[in-house]
Amino acid sequence: MIQVKQYFNAKHWTFISIAFLIGISTSLSAQTTDSIAGKTVNQIKFQRLLKKKNTVMLDVRTDAEYNAGHIPGAIHVDVLKLENFKNQITDLDKNKSYLLYCKSGKRSSKAKFIMKEMGFKKLKDLKGGYSQWKGKKEVK
């Protein structure tokens, strides 16, 4: 009976240990990707960075999303139209700082990664994206 109990306890702890390690590696992987491509910042910091010289804001959502409402001053480049996106990004100054946003943060994170691969160094995206934006909005 004791051997069976020990077997199940060992199995239980092995399972917990593996789940814990998977969780840590996933978390570290996400942090590494974020730190490699740039940072995600909250709205207060995003607005403060917008006021800095040599800073450009990019809205990477679809045409329909952008036309329905966007942050004033944003340049629209749809990351889902990948080849178009890359062509438009190629013309931008790689020495400037770029603030990106999408609806929730997933596409802006993808855009940040693509831009990093293309040689851009100063990249940040808006935490929670446009759906969390509490500031001024502009409709096209």
Contacts within 8 Å (CB) and 24+ apart, 28-37: 33/109, 33/113, 34/109, 36/113, 36/116, 37/109, 37/112, 37/113, 37/115, 37/116, 37/123
| Catalytic-role residue among 102, 111, 114, 115 | 102
Q: Residue 100 corresponds to which tokens in the numbers above? A: 């990106």
Phi, psi (deg, nearest 5) at residue 123: -130, 135
| DSSP sequence for 25-64 | HHHHHHHHHHHHH-EEE-HHHHHHHHTSTTEEEEE-S-HH
Does the active-site annotation cover 102?
Answer: yes
Which sequence positions are flagged as catalytic? 102
